[in-house]
Chain A
Amino acid sequence: MNQKNVLAIATSATTPGREYTLVRRLAGGGQGEVFLARDGTREVALKLYHAHMGTVDQEAMVRAQVSRSMTDTPEERRFVWPQDLVRVDAWNRWGYVMPLVDRARFLDLGELQAARGRVTMSPRRMAEAGYQLSSSLRALHSAGHCYRDISRNNVLFEPATGELRIIDNDNVGVAGESQSGVIGTPEYMAPEIISGQASPSTLTDLHALAVLLFELWTWHHPLHGDLECRVHCWDLPAKQRIYGAGAVFIFDPRDASNRPNEPDYRGVRRAWEIMPETLRQLFTVAFTDGLRDPARRVTEGQWQQAFLQLFDGALRCACGAETLWDPKAAGGLACWHCRAALNVPPRLRIDTGAAPYHLPLTPGAQLFGHHLRPSAGRKEPAELVGEVVRHPNDPNVWGLKNLSENPWTFVRPEGATALVPPQKSAPLALGGRVTIQNRTCTIES
């Protein structure tokens, strides 16, 4: 081993004899420093707390995370969890080992903004990121944890895919447990936390989720308008007023006191204009009723379904821009970039029992199990149920091919019924209905 490349040796506190070599410092923060380290031939990240930050409570928290059993799901894999507890005796500091995230691939929102012009995240990828963030948080909450410090500093995006990584997970706690001295990022703190009336919980996580999603879709904070603009020196007391007792959504339909009228804020005004109506409605609920009544906040499941629908609704304009079709959009759809009218393809309206799901029927479009049961979210491996294919003899005729193991029933617009066995296709005639796995699916324009 090349001794020159070793800053220090860290020993495992859980596995006797296991060691990690610290190679170089990657980053530093208020809590500690993160190093690149080697675990044999594998590269890992190793966080060491500053002496006074590494309390007994913190160690217990990290130890619990290291030893928790994890399911191997896409949701779990997005979290960068502590994998081993370590000590560096030479420095009298302790910390933990975690997977290394490629920071050239995964950027936080600020890095994405700073790279404007060089790096773009298309609307479809933004929808993917929204889906991944909501479903990951939902999985975490279902397991009885709350994140407590969701912020733009802890969520990383891969712009080309919308893939997510969630880092700095050493603050994740058990929902319901009160933590004194919790430090958080004020921009994301629910009003009841700012006023000191509540401890972090899954409900306060929902507020932070809504704020981060709004920032992803507008590059602007939902509470920064005329009221915030009037503040000269933007310090903590000012933030506590604007994010706490005095919080008003900038697009609150019943309160115009905090509109983003500032000339510098034209970005958010434009972003709100082009945002899909479904999201505008959800953000409005989140930041009006949901601001002060935690029980009325938009749930992870609602966000998850909305983003799934928007992901499937991406339409490419000839100018290159992607616009998201939205079932709630009134009238025709125009490209957000060049304003040309967009041709909206026919859709399969799936009556799921709750709100219907609309799958645009473009060539090659795929019907998955999660379209028939959207509340459960995507499954791994994905259950491919059907696919839009061309008629082998007539290129003008399209059909939905049955890729499942069970037959479907097809009802023609005129009323005649037919069976669609596996590997056969139901013709895509407007007004026709297909029954797939007990769901009625209607072809609409």
Chain B
Amino acid sequence: MNSHPSMPFEVARRQLHFFWLMDHSGSMGGAKIQALNQAVREAIPEIRAAVGNHPEVEVLVRAIRFAEVAQWHVGPDPVPLETFTWPELTTTGTTNTAMALELVTGELDVAKMPRRGFPPVLLLVSDGHASDAGRYRAALQNLLTLPWGRRSVRIAIGIGQGHEIDEVELRAFNSDVERPLLRAHNVAELVEQIKWASTAATVASSAGKSAAGPAAQNVLLPQAPAHVLLIPNGGEVF
């Protein structure tokens, strides 16, 4: 077998910082938190597969859980996607979404972010209103004043039925202000939406397409496919 030495080529990499922002307030108990844990575990191998043929993308993952307060679930040190595992999340207390945003904003400071990276991905999953709406709005505004913050790819997923979620509040989080809020009404929808959103955002940030002419947005995020948005008979309803 005639083998050749490897060519002396190297792939230069940029870092993509991925943040899970997960509501684990009391109302998330039961089927919701189980589905969330399941969803993230299923999403991780799919994200790996999506960037498997993009060695120039180095994905580093962290997670923030928020209930009464916001804390690092995985962090503050980022974990490479290759070795990332999701610790089980349990529920407690109220919904301090504002504090979760404040915690991640701290990490998006230029001094803490890499010199060369891709737009960070922030995935927010919540089943209710922020316990302090004013503080939430202020925290979101502050996040968007940071260069890394306003360039981030942000997707919010609202869990549950009608009035329990503040749709306006969660939609304000999305980096693509035009698109409707992702709503998970049952277990299957939550799983599929978390899988789709985490994969699509990671790929769009690092290996995404664009249209000709000046970019309307800094990242082109595709539309969520219909089979992810609506799954009739999708298991326990939230």
Chain A residues with a Cβ under 8 A of chain B: 30, 50-52, 91, 108, 110-111, 113-114, 116-117, 120-123, 153, 181-186, 189, 193-196, 199, 218-220, 224, 229, 231-237, 239-240, 262, 264-268, 270-271, 274, 319-322, 336-337
**A235 with B151: CB separation less than 8 A:** yes
Instruction: For the complex, give the distance between the alpha carbons of A274 and B6 in Å.
Output: 13
Taking CB atoms, residues of chain A closer than 8 Å to B225 are 50-51
**A114 with B7: CB separation less than 8 A:** no
Taking CB atoms, residues of chain A closer than 8 Å to B12 are 220, 224, 262, 264-265, 267-268
Q: Which residue of B lies closest to A107 (CB)?
A: B53
Contact partner of B9 (CB less than 8 A), chosen from A108, A240, A267, is A267
Contact flags (1/0) for B204-228 with A, using CB distance below 8 Å? 0101111111110111101101110
**A184 with B9: CB separation less than 8 A:** no
Given contacts A30-B200, A120-B4, A189-B212, contact A52 B53 (CB under 8 A): no
Contact partner of B219 (CB less than 8 A), chosen from A189, A235, A322, is A235
Given contacts A182-B211, A232-B117, contact A110 B53 (CB under 8 A): yes
- B116 an interface residue at 8 Å Cβ cutoff? yes
Which 3 pairs between the two chains have the least Cβ-Cβ distance?
A: A267-B10, A196-B213, A110-B53
Residue count of chain B within 8 Å CB distance of chain A: 48
Instruction: For the complex, give the distance between the alpha carbons of A270 and B10 in Å.
Output: 9
Taking CB atoms, residues of chain A closer than 8 Å to B54 are 110
What total count of A-B pairs have CB within 8 Å? 136
Instruction: For the complex, give the distance between the alpha carbons of A78 and B209 in Å.
Output: 24
Chain B residues with a Cβ under 8 A of chain A: 2-14, 52-56, 110, 113, 115-119, 147-148, 151, 200, 205, 207-215, 217-220, 222-223, 225-227
**A232 with B6: CB separation less than 8 A:** no
Given contacts A218-B9, A240-B214, contact A233 B117 (CB under 8 A): yes
Task: Say whether chain B's binding surface is mostly helix, strand, loop, or mixed.
Answer: loop
CB distance from A246 to the nearest CB of B (A): 14
**A267 with B8: CB separation less than 8 A:** yes
Taking CB atoms, residues of chain B closer than 8 Å to A235 are 118-119, 151, 205, 218-219
Instruction: For the complex, give the distance between the alpha carbons of A227 and B155 in Å.
Output: 31
Taking CB atoms, residues of chain B closer than 8 Å to A153 are 207
CB distance from A55 to the nearest CB of B (A): 13
Instruction: For the complex, give the distance between the alpha carbons of A439 and B207 in Å.
Output: 49
Taking CB atoms, residues of chain B closer than 8 Å to A193 are 212
CB distance from B168 to the nearest CB of A (A): 25
Contact partner of B209 (CB less than 8 A), chosen from A185, A229, A336, A337, is A185
Instruction: For the complex, give the distance between the alpha carbons of A421 and B163 in Å.
Output: 93
**A233 with B5: CB separation less than 8 A:** no
Taking CB atoms, residues of chain B closer than 8 Å to A319 are 5
CB distance from A387 to the nearest CB of B (A): 22
CB distance from A160 to the nearest CB of B (A): 10
Sampled A-B contacts (24; CB under 8 Å):
A52-B223, A110-B56, A117-B6, A120-B4, A183-B220, A185-B210, A218-B9, A219-B11, A233-B147, A234-B14, A234-B116, A234-B117, A234-B119, A235-B218, A236-B217, A236-B218, A236-B220, A240-B214, A265-B12, A274-B8, A319-B5, A320-B3, A322-B4, A337-B5
Instruction: For the complex, give the distance between the alpha carbons of A250 and B214 in Å.
Output: 24
**A186 with B209: CB separation less than 8 A:** yes
Taking CB atoms, residues of chain B closer than 8 Å to A185 are 209-210
Instruction: For the complex, give the distance between the alpha carbons of A110 and B56 in Å.
Output: 8
Taking CB atoms, residues of chain A closer than 8 Å to B223 are 50, 52
Instruction: For the complex, give the distance between the alpha carbons of A182 and B12 in Å.
Output: 29
Given contacts A184-B209, A234-B118, A236-B219, contact A271 B214 (CB under 8 A): no
Taking CB atoms, residues of chain B closer than 8 Å to A122 are 4
**A236 with B210: CB separation less than 8 A:** yes
Taking CB atoms, residues of chain B closer than 8 Å to A30 are 200, 209, 222
Taking CB atoms, residues of chain A closer than 8 Å to B4 are 120, 122, 320-322
Taking CB atoms, residues of chain A closer than 8 Å to B226 are 50-52
Instruction: For the complex, give the distance between the alpha carbons of A266 and B9 in Å.
Output: 9
Given contacts A30-B222, A232-B115, contact A114 B5 (CB under 8 A): no
**A113 with B55: CB separation less than 8 A:** yes
Instruction: For the complex, give the distance between the alpha carbons of A226 and B222 in Å.
Output: 31
Q: Which residue of A lies closest to B152 (CB)?
A: A233
Taking CB atoms, residues of chain A closer than 8 Å to B119 are 233-235
CB distance from A88 to the nearest CB of B (A): 12
Contact partner of B3 (CB less than 8 A), chosen from A110, A120, A220, A271, is A120
Q: Given A186-B210, A220-B9, A237-B215, output 13 extra A-B contacts at Cβ < 8 Å.
A: A116-B6, A117-B6, A182-B212, A219-B11, A231-B116, A233-B117, A233-B147, A240-B214, A240-B215, A264-B12, A267-B11, A274-B8, A320-B3
Contact partner of B118 (CB less than 8 A), chosen from A114, A233, A266, is A233
Instruction: For the complex, give the distance between the alpha carbons of A274 and B5 in Å.
Output: 14
**A232 with B11: CB separation less than 8 A:** no
Given contacts A30-B222, A234-B118, contact A271 B211 (CB under 8 A): no
CB distance from B56 to the nearest CB of A (A): 8
Instruction: For the complex, give the distance between the alpha carbons of A10 and B80 in Å.
Output: 41
CB distance from B14 to the nearest CB of A (A): 6
**A123 with B7: CB separation less than 8 A:** yes
Q: Which residue of B lies closest to A152 (CB)?
A: B53
Instruction: For the complex, give the distance between the alpha carbons of A184 and B211 in Å.
Output: 6
Taking CB atoms, residues of chain A closer than 8 Å to B214 are 196, 240
Instruction: For the complex, give the distance between the alpha carbons of A140 and B219 in Å.
Output: 32
Q: Which residue of B lies closest to A186 (CB)?
A: B210
Most buried by A among B7, B12, B211, B212: B212
**B212 with A194: CB separation less than 8 A:** yes
